[in-house]
Structure 1
Amino acid sequence: MRVSRYGVVALTGLALLLLASARDESSGEDNPAKGRIEATYRVDWAGMNLGEFHLNATFKGSAYEMKANGDFSVLAGLVYRASGTTTSSGKMTRFGPEPSRFTLHYKGGDKRETRLMRFTGGTIKVSITPRKKQNPQKRIPVTKEQLANALDPLTAAFLSARYDGPRGDLKVCHQTVPVFDGKQRFDIVLTPKRADRLDATKGPVGLSGPVAVCQVKFKPIGGYRPDHPGIKFMSETDEIEVWLVPLPRTPLYVPYLIFVPTAWGRGSVTLTEIKMNIDG
């Protein structure tokens, strides 16, 4: 039971963190889009549907606001149940997103946690409730330099800037996304894997066609325990991949499909529905 619970937590948590989008720093635009995006993702693990999470992103000029919430369970909650809500806000610049505030409210079993991160003047202030006592000797420390330009998980997960190349161009996979979740600092490194195609009968309406499939590497930087089995497994595997698709009539890319291996079965996160009202 304990192993199963850890596998579920690893998948649902990493699902949010490993959703990577394309950033093209050559764009001179400060506001890549205006309007609203609503997306629903389904999470599966070892042949079981764990649940889904819903994301709403709103763009107003250069400012953005995002909110995601999810409910996950195994066997109708008899084995495992968790829910969470996360928000992020900030602005878009010519170099990519700059978050200003991030929140996370998580509830799973007998565990509850609230995190708040504020991005101010190149620094990140973190508040975690309840605050657990940690043995600093067991964790690799996070330095101030490592936090420079780091994104919160939700911004790193979904928000993308412009990429003006052909649809399915594997150049979209050349990127490294720096992430800080309030405890751990890590990089999500994308590299080209292969070109594929999304069948019109499988994906949401309007997203069929060529897709870029990127290999994803999880690279821990600080705030983690080197002996943690989940960190060790995720940093060593070469089997994580993400399918990136462009939104119609926009230069925005979103993840359609993510494959995440775990020691207890393969997991996947799939975009099942998307609604948008965007002016590019």
Structure 2
Amino acid sequence: MKLDLSGKRAIVTGSSAGIGLAAATALAKCGADVVINGRKAETVEKAVAAIRHVAPSVDVQGFVGDLSKAEAAEELFATHPSCDVLVNNLGIYAWKDFFESTDDEWEEFVSVNVTSGIRISRHYMPEMISKAWGRVIFISSESGLNIPADMIFYGTTKTAQLALARGLAKRAAGTGVTVNSVLPGPTLSDGVVSMIEGSIAGTDQTVQQAADAFVKANRPSSIIQRTASVEEVANMIAYVASPLSSATTGAALRVEGGIVDSIG
């Protein structure tokens, strides 16, 4: 089985690090030209260089901008008017008690995690439909199904992404354009590594050991009993982006190690 995306252009939002960077790298290795996005020029340039190193035959470009803002999105559309594979990965997370959360924090979470994907999908999907081929992938989370009590605003926005993706899949019915969600669980991304490194300073525990201990203590239903790697999540994204996934649409595809205790 070969995942061939030669001749396709992929845009991955929030892709200068973590799952986004791993997804962009996987797509580039499959032959897709990719657009990397982040808010800082330095991190975007570093990510572009890293992908060019492992996939020298594809075109890799960077776009610096906060795509939760309409102005930045309009600049993206003007710079990169065409897209075959759109990965809506841009997102933020935080731990905070619901009763201490503010309207501004809720609005920020909705703007970054939900509205950005609405705006960008609304722009690129019509052309995909006109070409009778396209892939739109929302990076949701198992927290969209298992709403964490200490991350309610995060979980709520991830549930919204699932509804959005399902609705868009129906809107694109019969066109050759598929829309799916990928649901990672606890994943050893750059942000998680940085957080764990701070918590284990002065101990002899490794980042992997601490991360896996967190999963066992806080996500006891996990079947793999460990964190996933960003590459494991990216493998699913690459498959869903490929022509081989043509019969998969409107789906919520879990890469969360079995945390969600459901056979459905």
Give the structure with the larger helix fraction: 2
Bigger relative contact order, structure 1 or 2 (CA pairs below 8 A, ≥6 apart): 1
Instruction: State TM-score, norm by structure 2.
Output: 0.32
Give the structure with the larger strand fraction: 1
